[in-house]
A = this chain, B = another copy of it.
Amino acid sequence: MTTYKAPVRDINFVINELLDYQKHYTQVPGGEEATPDMVDAIIGEAAKFAEEVLAPLNQPGDEHGCKWEDGNVTTPPGFKEAYDLWVEGGWQGLSHPAEYGGQGLPMSMGLIKSELVGTANWSWGMYPGLSLGAMNTLLVHGDEQQKNLYLSKLCEATWTGTMCLTEPHCGSDLGQMKSRAEPQQDGSYKLNGTKIFISAGEHDMAENIVHIVLARTPGAPEGTKGISLFIVPKFLSDNEGNVTERNGVNCGNIEKKMGIHGNATCVINFDDATGYMLGKENEGLAAMFTFMNTARIGTAIQGLAASELAYQNAWPYAMERYSMRALSGSKNPDKAGDAIIHHGDVRRMLLTARAFAEGGRAMIYDAAKYADLMVSAPTEEERDAYENELGFLTPILKAFLTETGLESASNAMQVFGGHGFIKEHGMEQIYRDARIATMYEGTTGIQAMDLIGRKVVLDGFKLYAGFSKKLYKFGFSSLLKGKRRRYSAKLISYTLNLNWKTVKMLARASRNRDAVSAASYDFLMYSGYLSMAYYWAMMAEVAAEKLDSADSGDREFYQAKLETAEFYFSRLLPRAKAHAAAMDSSTDSVMGMAPERFTLR
C-alpha cells in the first residue's frame, strides 16, 4: 500500500529560496494575508489533511470504485466523510474572494493546496478540483446574482461544480457540438443533449451540483462561433441557495475505465433542463477557456503528483529489497544481496522520477506566480501580458509534466520488478491513475498544436521570443558569475538549438503547412526539457550558493538538489537531442504514407 508524506522542505525551497514568494506576495491582492506564518500554517494543515485523511482512502477508493444505480452514484467508502471535513475546514474557497465566502488568498496558494491533495488522492481531489474550474468561470463571466448564488455555494463547497463539454462524437473539436438551449419567456433556457466524460458529474458528497454546460442557441452560427455557456444546476433553488425541485439533469451511466476509479466519469443527459446563460451568447468557447486553462494547469499538477508519489513509494522499497551485489563491491555484506538502491539502473529510474517531480514543482510554482499576477497586475496591459505568458507555458506544463509523470510512475513500478504489477503494492495504481492525464483536458498532441500553432506561429513569435530571452538572460548571467557554469552553457546551447531547428522547421512549413503538425510533438517535448533545465539550472545555483554555510540537515538537502540537477543535465536533458533530430526530419517522413497504406499488412 502506498503512503504519502508532503514534501514540505522542497515546497519551502521552491517558494522561499528559489521563487521568493514573499516578495511576490507584496505585489498581489490577498498577498498581505499570505504572511510567512500563514503560508506555513496552510501548507502544514493541507499536508496533514492530505497525509492523514486523503492518502489512506486512495487505494480503497481504487478498489471499490464508484457505483451507479438508477442515476445515483455512490462514491467509495470514506470519500463523503473526507469531503465533509474539507467543507468544515473551509478549504474550497482558499483563493477566492471573501465577498463570496472565500479566504481571498492568492491563486498560487490554491495550486500548492492542489498539489498536496492531488498527490495524496487524485480521484478524490477531482471532486473539489472540478468545482474550482466552475468557480473560476463564474468569477470571470458570471453576473452579480449568479456569483452571489452559485459562486458562494461553491466556495462553501456544499455544492460542487462540473464542466460539461464533450459529446460522444466530439471532444477537442467543440465546433461539432450538438446540445441545444432554447430560450424561455422568463429569460432562462431549456437544455437538451448528452454530454460524456463528465468528471464528478454525479455523486453523493454534496447537496447540489452546478453544471457549466456548453450548448447552442437556436440559429447560432455553425462551429465554435455558435457556442454559449450555461449554468445548469442538478437541483433548482431560490436565490438564497435553498434547493427546490430536481432539474432535468440525469446521470445515464458511469464509465468503466483504466484508473481514477474513485472519481465518477459520467454520462449526463439534459432533458428540458433549466439553465441560465453565463456570459454572452455565442461567446461560450472563449469563456470556457477560463476553465480550460485552470484545468490544464490542474492536470499538469497531476503529472507532478504522479512523479512525486511514485518516487516517494519506490525509494523505500529500493532501500529494503536485497538482490544481487553492487558492481563496485558489496554494500550490505551481512545480507544475502545488496539493497537494490546500489544498482545503477535502479538509481537511474528513481532519479528520473525525482528530477521530474522537483523540476515539475518549480515549473508549476513559477507559473502560479503568473496566475496571481494575471488577475492582479495594475494595468489591463500587464494583466494581459501575464495571461499570455501563462498561456504560452500552459501547454508545456500540461503535456510535458503529464508525459514525464507517466514515465515516473512506470519507472517506480519497474523498481518493484514483478511486484510492481501486483495490486497490493499500489504502484500500478499510480500508473493507471496517471495514464488519463496525457489524454483528458486536451491530449498531448492537442497541447503540442496549441503551443506551436497558436502560441508560437499565430502569435508572431512574440511569446516564444520572450521565453527564449528569459532563458538566455539567466544563462548568460550565470555563465559569467554563477557556480554551475556548465549548466548555464548547456542551457544556452540547447536554447540556441531549439531556435535554429524551429527556424528550419518553419521554413519547411512555408512550402507545406503539415511540417508544423509533423514536428509539433517534438517541439513541445524539447520545450519541456529545456524549460525544466532552466529551473534545474536556477535550483542548482541556489543550492550551490547556500551549501557551504548551511547547517548539516540543510547541507544534505542542498547536496541532493545538486546531485539531482547533475542527473538531469547528464541523463535527461540530452533527450532533447532526439526531439531536435525528429523536428529536423522531412515532413514526408510523417505525412508521406497515404491513409489507405496504413491498412493491414
- Which residues of B lie under 8 Å from residue A324 when comparing CB positions? 172-173
Q: A336-B175, A439-B417 are in contact. Are A570 and B557 (CB under 8 A)?
A: no
Query: Which of A34-42, A256-264, A375-383 lines the interface with chain B?
Result: A256-264
Q: Which of B337, B345, B424 contacts A176 (CB 8 A)?
A: B337
Q: Which residue of chain B is the closest to A519 with respect to CB atoms?
A: B344
Q: Is A158 an interface residue when CB atoms closer than 8 A count as contact? A: no
A5 CA to B599 CA in the complex, in Å? Answer: 11
A435 CA to B417 CA in the complex, in Å? Answer: 11
Q: Give the number of times this chain occurs in the complex, counting copies.
A: 2
Query: Which of A67-75, A113-121, A444-452 lines the interface with chain B?
Result: A444-452
A598 and B319: CB pair below 8 A?
A: yes
A422 CA to B258 CA in the complex, in Å? Answer: 6
Number of A residues, CB within 8 Å of B? 111
A595 CA to B318 CA in the complex, in Å? Answer: 9
Q: Which of B170, B421, B513 contacts A258 (CB 8 A)?
A: B421
Q: Which residue of chain B is the closest to A582 with respect to CB atoms?
A: B571
B5 and A197: CB pair below 8 A?
A: no
Whole-angstrom distance from the CB of A384 to the nearest CB of chain B?
27
Q: Is A516 an interface residue when CB atoms closer than 8 A count as contact? A: yes
Q: Is A567 an interface residue when CB atoms closer than 8 A count as contact? A: yes
Q: Is A307 an interface residue when CB atoms closer than 8 A count as contact? A: no
A601 and B560: CB pair below 8 A?
A: yes
A589 CA to B513 CA in the complex, in Å? Answer: 41
A250 CA to B422 CA in the complex, in Å? Answer: 21
B514 and A257: CB pair below 8 A?
A: no
Q: A171-B418, A417-B443 are in contact. Are A348 and B566 (CB under 8 A)?
A: no
B520 and A600: CB pair below 8 A?
A: no
Q: Is A193 an interface residue when CB atoms closer than 8 A count as contact? A: no
Q: Is A326 an interface residue when CB atoms closer than 8 A count as contact? A: yes
A595 and B345: CB pair below 8 A?
A: no
Q: Which residue of chain B is the closest to A438 with respect to CB atoms?
A: B414
The A interface is mostly helix, strand or loop, or mixed, namely: helix
A521 CA to B420 CA in the complex, in Å? Answer: 19
A423 and B566: CB pair below 8 A?
A: no
Q: Which residue of chain B is the closest to A416 with respect to CB atoms?
A: B439
Q: Which residue of chain B is the closest to A196 with respect to CB atoms?
A: B418
Q: Is A19 an interface residue when CB atoms closer than 8 A count as contact? A: no
Q: Which residue of chain B is the closest to A524 with respect to CB atoms?
A: B345
Q: Is A461 an interface residue when CB atoms closer than 8 A count as contact? A: no
B521 and A348: CB pair below 8 A?
A: yes
A414 and B439: CB pair below 8 A?
A: yes
Q: Which residue of chain B is the closest to A357 with respect to CB atoms?
A: B601
Q: A7-B601, A173-B337 are in contact. Are A448 and B570 (CB under 8 A)?
A: no
Q: Is A592 an interface residue when CB atoms closer than 8 A count as contact? A: yes
* Mask of A332-345 contacts with B, CB within 8 angstroms, 1/0: 00001101011111
- Which residues of B lie under 8 Å from residue A406 when comparing CB positions? 410
A520 CA to B557 CA in the complex, in Å? Answer: 28
Whole-angstrom distance from the CB of A306 to the nearest CB of chain B?
14
Whole-angstrom distance from the CB of A138 to the nearest CB of chain B?
25
Q: Is A510 an interface residue when CB atoms closer than 8 A count as contact? A: no
Q: Is A20 an interface residue when CB atoms closer than 8 A count as contact? A: no
A516 CA to B439 CA in the complex, in Å? Answer: 37
Whole-angstrom distance from the CB of A498 to the nearest CB of chain B?
15
Q: Is A389 an interface residue when CB atoms closer than 8 A count as contact? A: no
Q: Which of B435, B556, B595 contacts A341 (CB 8 A)?
A: B595
5 closest residue pairs by CB, A with B: A344-B517, A574-B581, A570-B585, A345-B445, A344-B518
Extra contacts, 13 of them, besides A570-B589, A574-B577 (Cβ < 8 A), are A7-B600, A256-B424, A326-B517, A327-B517, A345-B444, A345-B448, A351-B590, A428-B435, A560-B597, A566-B588, A567-B593, A575-B575, A578-B578
Q: 14 interchain pairs (CB within 8 A)?
A: A9-B600, A173-B322, A176-B322, A256-B423, A257-B421, A343-B445, A344-B517, A344-B519, A347-B591, A418-B439, A560-B601, A563-B597, A574-B577, A574-B582
A residues neighboring B (CB under 8 Å)? 5, 7, 9-10, 13, 166, 170-173, 175-176, 197, 255-259, 312, 315, 318-319, 322-324, 326-328, 336-337, 339, 341-351, 354, 358, 406, 410, 413-414, 416-418, 420-424, 428, 431-432, 435-436, 438-440, 443-445, 448-449, 453, 512-514, 516-521, 556-557, 559-560, 563-564, 566-567, 570-571, 574-578, 581-582, 585-586, 588-593, 595-601
